[in-house]
Structure 1
Amino acid sequence: MKRREFVQYAGLGAGALMVPSLMLGNNISAEALLAPGMDVAVKKRLADVALNTAKSLGSSYADARIGRYLNQYVFTREDKVQNVVNTESFGIGIRVITNGTWGFASTNDVSENGIKKATEQAVAIAKANSKIQKVPVKLAPVESYGEVSWKTPIKKNFKDVPVSEKVDLLLSANAAAMKNGANYVNSALFMVNEQKYFASTEGSYIDQDVHRIWPTFGVTCIDRGTGKFKSRQALSAPMGMGYEYMDGLDSEKLDGPAGIKLYRNSYDMVEDAALGAQQAKERLTAKSVEAGKYDLVLEPNHLGLTIHESVGHPLELDRVLGYEANYAGTSFATLDKWESKDFKYGSDIVNLVADKTQVGSLGAVGYDDEGVKTKKWDLVRNGVLKNYQAIRDQVHMIGQNESHGCCYSQSWNDVQFQRMPNVSLEAGKEKYSVADMIKDVEKGIYIAGRGSYSIDQQRYNFQFGGTVFYEIKDGKIVGMLDDVAYQSNTQEFWNSCTKICDESDYRMFGSFFDGKGQPSQVSAVSHGSSTTRFNGVNVINTGRTI
């Protein structure tokens, strides 16, 4: 299942049948989610079995990842519960370098004997692969951290919240949408806890406890007379937080144009569902956009997806080097552009950063899945391409000697590889609000929320829709529009960036199931920004045919 299909199906409330099977693991009870994991001293002893076995068989390097992955998904539709899914997956993955070549094996038999057998298999795979390996693996050095730990700084663990309370919240959101004119509504809560232990022959023993949450819904309104229907998806963002995101412990709500409520650090699902129904109903009679050039005012929940596709993916080094060409495409941001040191990815005010330490983000961890401490670094500074995203066995290819700390595996039984960190657009430095931005626009469109999109395999030419659209005329919002999508190419688009709101408007968008690799894996990643203006962008009408 492709990630965009999953988002669509989840929005349709298709229940657990639409959750990627690789995310499920074994079904367990809600009470079993609370069971304590393996003691850290036991993890260390078992990890050492893998490391010592690998060294005894001639490996120059080895790492072991013991993982316990817990998931809870709740699905509802109108006044009914569709499904509640609780899963657990537990096992160990062992990666080795033998004869200069990678080998990997995994097992759910987390015993000394099971781990020894899996390690022997990993070494055997490496030795077999070494017969055709032309260039030995070269790892960037990494600090030995000893025994350390890291936890997502949550205030309320989703596992401690009764399922009945979560169901009541979803059904209350559904009821609010129905009361405000929705004909159909569905909602879902996705909650994840990754308990990960990493150990390597370089002396690091890292225990991490990672939490993520994603509330979402879809509402549909129908004009019975014409048979026309319109939908509106949630304006929520998946977050690297606990259940406090849902109950307003850190409530912060911003008022957007045309009555849109914008959420940061907490999410009022009932309020958003009620407004979602009103806006879906309003879309039934909204004016169809006239194609042409417009100044676009893009709010963060929308712009995050554009950042993801036009910045995050094209600046993955393995994609740049062609390693992803068979499945996920290549990149226009080739090495010669970076080597020139003056390639204008965007206008002078465009500063795009990668950051695995960003609090509340989906990608936030203390250490990546090969034991590298996470950090923040520039991708684009003052509009100029500065760097890529690379891990320990890649950075030497661009003349660097330090991993960027963005290696990840979706589970214990998948090999870790380079994954997108949080990629974000820095806020404007001067005080500047969304209201100020709209006042400065003569002919434009304000776009909030994500919609359908298309982008070529080089992440260059693209088209993006959105959730809701409002016409801006002579500095004022004058009404809702429909059938809006904009077209551009990555370099042209980011060079048309003329203004960015300040830090007070900064928010994050997230992708819970971003796909990459063969066999395909998913990862979670956030993209932060403030509301941003792009001038003279080509807008098409998606509702008209020739």
Structure 2
Amino acid sequence: MAQALASITTTDLATLAIDRITRAGCEYGDVRFCTYRSQNFTARDRSLGNLSDNISSGFGVRVLLDGAWGFAASHNQTPAEVERIVDLAIEIAKASRLSQQTKVQLAPVEAYRDTYITPIAIDPFTVPIIEKAELLLKINDQLLQYSDKGIKKAYSFLRFTREDKTFASTEGSLIQQTIYRSYPGFSCTAVANGDAQSRNYERHPLNKGYEYIDTQDLLNQVNRVAEEAIEKVHAPKSPSGIRTTLILKPTNVWLTIHESVGHPTELDRVYGYESNFAGTSFATTDKLGKLQYAAPWVNFKCDRTQPGGRSTIAYDDEGVPAQDWYVVKDGILVDYLTDRETAYRLGRPSSNGCAYADSWSSVPMVRIPNLGLQPGPDGGKHTATLEQMIADTEEGILIDGIGSFSIDQQRRNFQFGGDAFWKVEKGKVVGMLKDVTYHSMTTDFWNSVDAIGPASERQQCGTNMCGKGEPMQVAQMTHACVPVRVRNIHIGGAS
């Protein structure tokens, strides 16, 4: 019996599930067999803080019956369990229909039979644990060489994930994907005069192998980061309650893009299907094609095909191919992030492939893809390098890295911090500041952008920890962007 079960493949089980869904008369159904491996290393000061290597494996079945969704999942991957879970999902759909007022309909999608693997040079799970641990301890030791100057804490990390997915649907798709992700970084804390300030450095999370870790780059940044932490703790506090010019590096502006452009254009949030984690959205569909979201020279584009992007895949969790499209074009809101259900409601002929579930036990929902700020065109009136932005600024603040943030329940009004701040006077950087926050309304902010960096200054920044939904799911995405200069922005407390 055990040998017979061992010979059954994931494809066999997926086929079994789809056949049973079809025979039950469902108008649609899909199944995802997934295995997730995650490996996390941390070091605090001169000791390893954590080493975990976890595997989670199972499958989820989703059916659409009489216009209502049903979903069920299990870790037990046997034929009998597949049949039970399909039947359970169908019963849940029947129960859901009792209270559902409007039947769900889906935008069409073609059938695909395909395989995709993230292009990598070195599988991170084949690199010896001792090599990874020694790198973190070496970084921390180098940071703590500055202990006599005030560095009192050091922290470093390495994170790796691999997702193996087999997706099948009643549309006829059978898709296998393997996604690799790598993420290194470190930080230190300086203490002086009753204050503590941290400085961070990371190679932003990307879909790459161990080759992305780049030991030499990490070690080369250590001295700069430590010295800036020390300067920061001795720096004066930011002025408060005034308006000034901000020059934002990609390492800072990516989070502003994420919160004030990415989440407001998730169509399930726009329709009110989703309101957890800072509510719904001001960017309602009556504004589509009309709202001056940003200055006419500002463009935001989604791209799930972007090499290395944290959200780069071949197909989403509904079997829709990866695509690229503008959300904001020439400053105007022109599109949203959709799955098949919301695309149909919007009247679109197809989804743009934003359905994602963070586990075999999670239901796919609309998630932000790789969403980037397009560089300024060469020779463009509003195109300027970071150096040119600084040289052309009489008074302002240069911001690097991310800090605290908050945003209201419709994504209109926000506050962001950062990791490092420098005062700019008469076209020169004259010294660090600390405790800077900036505040604005979303459309006011993006319409106040007067300079955008060129393609040569584009960086692939982003996150591996975007929470959404209840129960919460975690997704990851890249926000490739360039430096920007924004005029007349409020900083600090009340003006």
User: Percent identical across equivalent pairs?
Assistant: 39
Q: Confirm or deny: 8 A CA contact 2:276 2:468 kept in the other structure.
A: no
Aligned partner letter, 1:504: S
Among residues 297, 302, 305, which one is paired with 1:354 in the alignment? 302
CA distance in 2, matches of 1:180, 1:319: 47
Following superposition, the deviation at residue 149 of structure 1 comes to 0.7
**Contact 1:288–1:482 under 8 Å retained in 2:** yes
Checking the alignment, whether the CA contact within 8 Å between 1:444 and 1:473 is kept in structure 2 is yes
Evaluate the alpha carbon distance shift between residue 275 and residue 41 of structure 1 in structure 2; reply closer, same or farther with a 3 A threshold. Answer: farther
- In structure 2, C-alpha distance between the alignment counterparts of 1:129 and 1:502, rounded to whole Å: 51
Secondary structure at the residue paired with 2:437?
Answer: strand
- For each residue in 1:464-502, what CA deviation from the matched residue of structure 2 results, as whole angstroms up to 9, or x when unmatched? 110101111111111111121111110000000111111
Conserved? CA contact 1:290–1:541, under 8 Å: no
Amino acid at match of 1:508: Q
Instruction: For 2:135 and 2:276, locate their aligned partners in 1 and report how far apart those are by CA, in whole Å.
Output: 43
2:390 is matched with which residue?
438
Per-residue CA distance 1:398-455 (angstroms, 9 max, x = gap): 2211101010000111111111111110011126421112111111111000011111
Q: Which runs of 4+ in 1 moved over 4 A?
A: 38-41
What is aligned with 1:236?
Answer: 203
Q: Distance in 2 between matches of 1:206 and 1:274?
A: 46
Kept in 2: contact 1:379–1:388 (CA 8 A):
yes
Superposed, 1:50-449 pairs within 5 Å as: 50-146=17-113, 148-181=114-147, 182-223=151-192, 226-247=193-214, 268-291=217-240, 292-325=242-275, 327-338=277-288, 341-430=289-378, 432-449=384-401
In the superposition, relative to structure 1, how do residues 326 and 411 fare at CA in structure 2: closer, same or farther (>3 Å)? Answer: closer
Give SS of 2:99's match. coil
| Distance in 1 of aligned mates of 2:412 and 2:102 | 31
Distance in 1 (alpha carbons) for counterparts of 2:482 and 2:10: 42
SS at match of 2:154: strand
Closer, same or farther: CA 327–512 of 1 in aligned 2, 3 Å: closer
CA RMSD of aligned residues (A): 1.8
Contact kept, 8 Å, 2:278 with 2:410, in 1: the verdict is: no
Q: How does 1:465-480 map to 2 (within 5 A)?
A: 465-480=417-432
Give the conservation status (yes or no) of the 8 Å contact 2:156–2:187: yes
Q: State the secondary structure of the residue aligned to 1:155.
A: coil
How many angstroms does 1:325 deviate by?
A: 2.6
CA contact (8 A) 1:177 1:275 kept: no
Distance 1:39 1:508, change over 3 A: farther
**Distance in 2, Cα, partners of 1:126 & 1:273:** 55
CA distance in 1, matches of 2:214, 2:189: 25
5+ unaligned residues in a row in structure 1: which ranges? Answer: 1-37, 249-266
Q: What CA distance in whole angstroms lies between the structure 2 residues aligned with 1:132 and 1:99?
A: 12
Whole-angstrom CA distance in 2 between matches of 1:510 and 1:344:
25
**What does 1:475-486 align with in structure 2 at a 5 Å threshold?**
475-486=427-438
Amino acid at match of 2:356: Y
Q: Is the 1:198–1:204 Cα contact (8 Å) retained in structure 2?
A: yes
Quote how far apart the aligned CAs of 1:41 are: 8.4
Q: Is the 8 A contact 2:181 2:310 kept in 1?
A: yes
How many residue pairs get aligned? The number is 483
- In the other structure, the counterpart of 1:488 is 440
1:373-399 deviation line (CA, Å, top 9, x unaligned): 010111000001101111101112222
Is the Cα contact below 8 Å between 2:184 and 2:202 reproduced in 1? no
Instruction: For residue 354 of structure 1, report the CA deviation from its aligned partner.
Output: 1.4
- Give, in angstroms, the shift of residue 213 of structure 1: 1.5
Whether the aligned pair in 1 keeps the contact of 2:183 and 2:213 (CA below 8 Å) is: no
Give yes or no for contact 1:235–1:449 (8 Å, CA) kept in 2: no
Q: TM-score, length-normalised on structure 1?
A: 0.86
Could you tell me which amino acid in structure 1 is paired with residue 217 of structure 2?
Answer: D
Whether the 8 Å CA contact 1:328–1:516 is kept in 2: the answer is: no
1:448 and 1:236 map into 2 onto residues whose CA distance is: 14
- Matched to 1:269, the amino acid is L
User: Could you list the per-position Cα deviations for residues 222-275 of structure 1 after superposition, in whole angstroms to 9, with x for gaps in the alignment?
Assistant: 12xx33221112243111111111126xxxxxxxxxxxxxxxxxx822233332
Q: Which moved more, 1:75-84 or 1:489-498?
A: 75-84
Give the match for residue 256 of structure 1: none
Q: Does 1:539 align with 2:487?
A: no
Give 1:337 deviation, angstroms: 1.4
| 2:234 partner SS | coil
Paired with 2:159 and 2:81, the residues of 1 have a C-alpha distance of 32
User: SS of the counterpart of 2:26?
Assistant: coil
Cα distance in 2, alignment partners of residues 389 and 314 from structure 1: 9
Distance in 1, matches of 2:37 and 2:265, equals: 31
Aligned residues of 1:288 and 1:541 also touching (Cα < 8 A): no
